[in-house]
Amino acid sequence: MTTRSTPVVHLVGAGLGEVGSLTRRAVRVLAEADVVVVDRPSLDHVVGLAPAGAERVHVGRHRGHRAWATDAIVGLLADRASAGLKVVRLKGGDSFVCSRGAEEALGLAARGIAVEVIPGVTAATAAGAASGLDRGASVTVVSGNHDPIGPSVAWSLIPTLSTAHGAVVVLTGRSHQGTIADGLMAGGRAPETPSAVVHGAGRADETVIATGLAGLGAVRLPAPAAMVVGPYQPGGDHAHP
């Protein structure tokens, strides 16, 4: 339970990166922010909802800049909140879907900082809808930045992911598309499994390239891009080779 004197950080999901995908609570909190801590400049359109005089801090990897360590981000958030400022930590999609929101929330709690979680629309559902994903299927969502259970474990050694009957949606895996596809095939997925790469899911610039699983490595779309690996909705518009 928080009091008026309890420092608070508002952990906000920026949804699909457009104002229209934000919750009303997210819009309200941003409009009152003193500080907005955001991962990447591509969310600046959403950050624009904050007052002109609000401090804006980019802590993610972008051109010419390395990403901040989680401890450093938590320290910044805690310092600003402890100073009595209204702090918004803005993350793409939903803060708890392949976005390390939990680590930051736990770090803040350890420092005595309260956290208000404001969910966002994840690209995992938007990419599935854009690609023609079977709406009745089960879906496994994973981060493609590294192997789900450790950097020393190859994708081909994760049979539960490779042989799952439902779809697999891979976020933030654009740099490893070929490796991920090879691992899924080695684990049992057929090379012709219907797949797609979706750029800007749910946005005005949304682009979908459909292919078989074996062709995922050859598809090149700019970030943000998600991979969807079958099945497809029967009769959908997105055919594959």
- Higher per-residue confidence, 67 vs 47: 47
Whether the per-residue pLDDT at 236 is higher than 50: the answer is no
Exposed/middle/buried for 184, CB within 10 Å: 0-12, 13-18, 19+?
A: buried
pLDDT at 146 exceeding the cut of 70: no
pLDDT of 191: 93
CA-CA distance, 78 to 187, in Å (whole number)? 43
Q: Of residues 1 and 6, which shows the higher confidence score?
A: 6
Range with the poorest average pLDDT among 68-72, 109-113, 140-144, 226-230: 140-144
The neighbouring-strand residues paired with 167 are 139
Q: Which residue, among 83, 117, 97, 100, has the nearest Cα to 39 in the 3D structure?
A: 100
pLDDT of residue 234: 38
* Residue 240 pLDDT > 50: no
CA distances from 161 to 83, 106, 125, 158, 184 (A): 45, 28, 18, 6, 8
Q: Average the pLDDT over each of 89-103, 152-166, 173-187, 225-239 and give the range with the smallest value.
A: 152-166
Collapse the DSSP code of 82 into the 3-class scheme (helix H, G, I; strand E, B; otherwise coil) and give the result.
helix
Coil/strand/helix, residue 122: coil
pLDDT at 165: 67
All domains of the chain in start order, with CATH? 8-118 (3.40.1010.10), 123-229 (3.30.950.10)
- Tens of pLDDT, residues 149-202: 455 445 555 556 666 667 888 888 888 899 888 888 888 888 999 999 999 888
Position 134 pLDDT exceeds 90: no
What mean pLDDT do residues 102-107 have?
95
Instruction: Write down the pLDDT at residue 29.
Output: 97
